[in-house]
Amino acid sequence: MPPKAGTWRVIGALLLVGIAPHPAEAARYVIEIRDMSFGPAPKHLKVGDVIAWKNNDMFRHTATEPGIFDLDLAPGAQGEVTLKKSGVLKVICRYHPNMTMRLAVEKEH
Amino acid sequence: MLTRMIFAALLLAPGAALAQAQKPNDAQIAHIAYTAGVLDITAGKQALAKSTNPDVKAFAGEMVRDHQAVNDKALALVKKLNVTPEDNATSQALTKAAAAKQAELSRLSGAAFDRAYVENEVAYHKTVNGALKDTLIPNSQNAELKALLQTGLSLFTAHQQHAEHLSMSLAK
Segment holding B14, helix H or strand E:
helix B2-20
Q: pLDDT (tens digit, 9 = 90+) per residue, A64-88?
A: 999 999 999 999 999 999 999 999 9
Q: Which of B70, B151, B162 sits opposite A35 (nearest CB)?
A: B151
B53-78 residue pLDDT tens:
999 999 999 999 999 999 999 999 99
Edge-to-edge strand list for the sheet holding A50-55: A37-38, A28-34, A50-55, A78-82
- Cβ neighbours of residue A76 under 8 Å, at least 6 residues apart? A55, A56
Give me the residue spans of the domains in chain A: 24-106
Span B144-161, mean pLDDT? 95
Determine which of A35, A36, A64 to mutate to test the interface with B (most B C-beta atoms within 10 Å): A36
Amino acid (1-letter code) at residue A77: A
Q: What is the ipTM of this complex?
A: 0.78
Q: Are A38 and A59 in contact (CB under 8 A)?
A: no
Lowest-confidence range among A2-16, A35-49, B8-22, B86-100? B8-22
Give residue A15's pLDDT.
47
Residue B47 contacts A where some CB pair is shorter than 8 Å: no
Q: Are B131 and B160 in contact (CB under 8 A)?
A: no
Digit-coded pLDDT (tens) for B2-60: 444 444 444 444 544 555 546 899 999 999 999 999 999 999 999 999 999 999 999 99
Name the E strands within chain A: 28-34, 37-38, 45-46, 50-55, 61-65, 69-73, 78-82, 87-92, 100-106
pLDDT at A16: 47
Q: Which domains does chain B carry?
A: 26-171 (1.20.1260.10)
Report the percent of chain B where pLDDT is more than 70.
87
Q: What does the pLDDT read at residue A100?
A: 96
Closest CA to B122 of B67, B159, B94: B159
- Say yes or no for a CB contact (<8 Å) between B158 and A96: yes
Rounded Cα distance between B121 and B60, Å, is: 10
Average pLDDT, chain B: 90
The superfamily in CATH containing domain A24-106 is Cupredoxins -  blue copper proteins (2.60.40.420)
pLDDT average, residue stretch B118-128: 96
